[in-house]
């Protein structure tokens, strides 16, 4: 029997484990955390992402049998056991690292809160204070999710949409623009999602010409991570 062969090959003691490893043999590439965009050697632009949601998803994917490669911005979290982690700082670094790893993956999950803009010029020395107001010229960063989904169309690409308003509408527009197979949308703002241990999301999955929408109530991020990974495993 096939089951027997697999069991002996993988040294799995409890056959129940096998049925709970729906991502065995799959490689999941994830981005997580914020990015830091340098203004000068000491100052930078960043955002309130803690990386908790992305790390919880990395851990869930790992537990469901996937090989997990995590490209992470600066966070106060340890890499989950067995996960291959690559640490980066800026959006440009995250873009380069992620694209260099994408051909190894079956599933790409972009949870990172990547800076859309970075200072057009990074000052070599700390900018001296003056009494004048000033203007910081910002340049558009490369779009990691767009580039991965367009350059690697065989990947099952999953985006996240953190929105302060018009949640589902904005998320669906993003899904189409970035050619995604699935998007996970959540509200952000004061006391919502970032830096918190719970989250409440809407999942939209591409289903031919239609979209499926799945509402998941507020729950712990690690529990939510398994729910999201289950939807991915069922649709990838």
Answer yes or no whether residue 222 interacts with its own copies by CB under 8 A: no
Residue 119 CB, nearest approach to its own copies (Å): 9
Using CB under 8 A, pick the residue from 8, 19, 81, 125 that binds its own copies. Answer: 125
Give the pairing of strands 198-207 and 182-187: antiparallel
- Paired with 63 in beta bridges are none
Per the CB < 8 A criterion, the answer to whether 203 and 230 are in contact is no
Answer yes or no whether residue 140 interacts with its own copies by CB under 8 A: yes
Residue (6 or 173) nearer to its own copies, CB: 173
Annotated catalytic, 47?
yes
Rama region for 143: left / alpha / beta (φ>0; ψ in -120 to 50; rest)? beta
Answer yes or no whether residue 131 interacts with its own copies by CB under 8 A: yes
CB atoms within 10 A of CB 200: 14
* Residues in Cβ contact with 78 at an 8 Å cutoff, skipping those fewer than 6 apart: none
> Contacts with its own copies: how many residues (CB under 8 A)?
38
Answer yes or no whether residue 139 interacts with its own copies by CB under 8 A: yes
Using CB under 8 A, pick the residue from 4, 13, 78, 133 that binds its own copies. Answer: 133
- Paired with 67 in beta bridges are 27
Q: Which of residues 4-33 bind its own copies (CB under 8 A)?
A: none
Answer yes or no whether residue 44 interacts with its own copies by CB under 8 A: yes
Cα–Cα separations (whole angstroms), residue 87 to 25, 94, 105, 198, 211: 24, 8, 18, 25, 34
Please list the active-site residues.
Answer: 47
Q: Which residues bind its own copies (CB under 8 A)?
A: 39, 41-49, 76, 113, 115-117, 120, 125-127, 129, 131-140, 162-165, 188-190, 194
């Amino acid at each position: 029997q096939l089951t027997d062969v697999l069991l002996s090959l993988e040294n799995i003691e409890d056959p129940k484990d096998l049925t709970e490893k729906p991502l065995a043999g799959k490689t999941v590439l994830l981005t997580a955390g914020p990015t830091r965009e340098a203004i000068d050697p000491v100052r930078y632009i960043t955002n309130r992402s803690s990386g908790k949601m992305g790390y919880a998803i990395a851990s869930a994917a790992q537990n469901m049998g996937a090989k997990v490669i995590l490209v992470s911005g600066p966070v106060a979290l340890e890499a989950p056991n067995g996960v291959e982690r690559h640490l980066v700082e800026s959006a440009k670094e995250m873009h380069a690292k992620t694209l260099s790893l994408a051909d190894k993956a079956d599933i790409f999950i972009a949870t990172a809160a990547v800076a859309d803009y970075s200072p057009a010029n990074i000052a070599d020395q700390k900018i001296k204070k003056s009494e004048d107001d000033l203007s910081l010229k910002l340049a558009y960063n490369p779009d990691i999710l767009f580039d991965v989904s367009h350059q690697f169309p065989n990947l099952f690409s999953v985006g996240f949409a953190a929105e302060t308003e018009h949640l589902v509408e904005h998320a669906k527009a993003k899904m189409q623009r970035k050619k995604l197979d699935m998007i996970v949308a959540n509200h952000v703002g004061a006391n919502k999602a970032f830096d918190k241990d719970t989250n409440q999301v809407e999942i939209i999955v591409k289903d031919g010409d239609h979209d499926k929408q799945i509402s998941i109530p507020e729950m712990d991020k690690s529990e939510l991570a398994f729910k999201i990974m289950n939807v991915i495993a069922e649709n990838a």
